[in-house]
Structure 1
Amino acid sequence: MAEQRDNIYAHPVPEPTAFRFDDRVAQVFPDMIRRSVPGYSTIIAMTGLLAGRFATPGSRLYDLGCSLGASTLAMRQNVQHGDCRIVGVDNSAAMLERCRGVIDTDSHDVPVDLVCSNLQDVPVTDASVVVLNFTLQFIAREERDAVIQHIYHGLRPGGIMVLSEKVTFEDPHLDALNIDLHHDFKRANGYSDLEIAQKRDALDGFLRRETLQQHRKRCHDAGFGSCDVWFQCFNFASLIALK
């Protein structure tokens, strides 16, 4: 499946519309996320290594908000136990349709189940690894505590949750600086000021950032014994929480 270049916001739109993970986004998603999220390829690759370390025999691994299956593939290619099973969940039918095509071309044999659903409605059970790579930020804030608690209860002792998010900073000067640096990153990857502005308007109110302190507190309140950042670049960070 040939990768297409993201030019969704390359031309002026008369009225901004809310961002949606529809077929148009699914077609360009690999290019979009690589050019928009600093450190994305590192986060995906290390998600695979973490899965290889923490997956336990007979357990399930969950990719919640799996989009086109990058984290699912990274886990599948690193899990050493043939009796594990990976569950990929996404509420976008367009993303999952393309994800199935990606999974079908992979030669590894860990079974993968793809579920089209809101992740809040999917049971997490007997899990050794749960991944939310840039997923929680699209869930209503009032539902996030319950999501993390549900994941904690569904993990085996010794299991991990990987949580990657676009974050905000309590210090307004640092927040403004990191937003500017992110925009510089996008410009360096070929996005115009028009594209940056229109994408920002489309995500306004849809992607809701929180501070790292809020994420840590939510994980500790859910019961995780340890939780902290393992990777950060500008206002994008990934945390590991250990049960």
Structure 2
Amino acid sequence: MQPAYDTRNIVANLHFPACPMSDASYRDAIFSTPLDRVARFSFDEQVVACFPDMIRRSVPGYGQILGMLGLIAQRHLRHGAHVYDLGCSLGAASLALAGQLPPDAFRLTAVDLSPAMVARARETLAAECPGHAIEVAEGDIRTLDYRPSGMIVLNFTLQFLPREDRDAVIARLHEALEPGGVLVLSEKVVDLDEQDNAWRVERYHDFKRANGYSDLEISQKRNALENVLVPDSLDAHHDRLARAGFSRSLTWFQYLNFASLIAFKEA
């Protein structure tokens, strides 16, 4: 059995040949100075350059979610089946699967809408996983021509789509999955109880402060993400999965207002 990556540190270890992560210039400082006008957040070259640091300091539990993907695949993925990593960004989920599964265990297509993300993900995955059958494609997951797959990973991607498009995407993913296939859906979520939601948001801001972000950075990034990242409640996610035809779904992980669900297609 091939040795696995230390998936607890996969985000920290994500690097690019042209962008040594030890260089302080690749620390996330996008919102560290006062801006007269905060532009809408986008996954451009500026974000790509500091994305590993941004994720590491901004998404509670991201490493733990990555670390479980291979274990989930070992339990639920038919040997040799196809896998999608949708909204792959720099390919961390693909790296996690390749680090835990041998090359003949699966074929994978990683998809992202951002040309900058796709270029870096393609470079990184080719360098880190040369023996695995991994394709990186630029595309919109709303219009993608899906092939039959045994597992689909949708890590912090659905939240960036307009709400009116989300049901159709999940329905298409259910249709693409083979019988017995699984969808792993990770998202930032809101709590239906306003008081509980406020507590989670406040503690999330504490989490970011503890990771070195200033109040200015927290405020300006929140403004940049307004109407760009629009989270749903866990109930809304489970209801959507049920409407799409999944036989069952469960929340297997939650850390403050970040959660990961798994949905099962009937065998």
- With the length of structure 1 as denominator, give the TM-score of the two structures: 0.97
The amino acid of 1:34's aligned partner reads R
**Equivalent residues of 1:76, 1:86 under 8 A apart:** no
Kindly indicate whether residue 165 of structure 2 is the aligned counterpart of residue 165 of structure 1: no
Q: CA-atom RMSD, angstroms?
A: 1.2
d(CA) in 2 for partners of 1:80, 1:55:
13
Q: Which moved more, 1:96-105 or 1:165-174?
A: 96-105
The amino acid of 2:132's aligned partner reads V
CA drift of 1:195 comes to: 0.3
d(CA) in 2 for partners of 1:88, 1:224:
23
Q: Secondary structure at the match of 2:100?
A: coil
**Equivalent residues of 1:52, 1:75 under 8 A apart:** no
- State the match for 2:132 in structure 1: 110
d(CA) in 1 for partners of 2:106, 2:55:
28
**Equivalent residues of 1:48, 1:71 under 8 A apart:** no
Kindly indicate whether residue 93 of structure 2 is the aligned counterpart of residue 93 of structure 1: no
Q: How many residues align?
A: 243
**Equivalent residues of 1:82, 1:109 under 8 A apart:** no
Deviations 1:45-81 (A, max 9, x none): 1122212322213321000000000001111222346
d(CA) in 2 for partners of 1:83, 1:176:
43
Counterpart mapping for 1:203-218 below 5 A: 203-218=225-240
d(CA) in 2 for partners of 1:80, 1:52:
11
The amino acid of 2:158's aligned partner reads L
Report % sequence identity.
45
CA drift of 1:83 comes to: 6.1
The amino acid of 1:40's aligned partner reads Y
**Equivalent residues of 2:86, 2:141 under 8 A apart:** yes
Q: Which moved more, 1:28-37 or 1:95-104?
A: 95-104
> Following superposition, which runs of at least 4 residues in structure 1 exceed 3 angstroms of deviation?
none
The amino acid of 2:76's aligned partner reads F
- With the length of structure 2 as denominator, give the TM-score of the two structures: 0.88
Q: Secondary structure at the match of 2:142?
A: helix
CA drift of 1:99 comes to: 0.7
Q: Which moved more, 1:89-98 or 1:104-113?
A: 104-113
**Equivalent residues of 1:55, 1:79 under 8 A apart:** no
Unaligned runs of 5+ in 2: 1-15
Kindly indicate whether residue 263 of structure 2 is the aligned counterpart of residue 233 of structure 1: no
CA drift of 1:177 comes to: 0.6
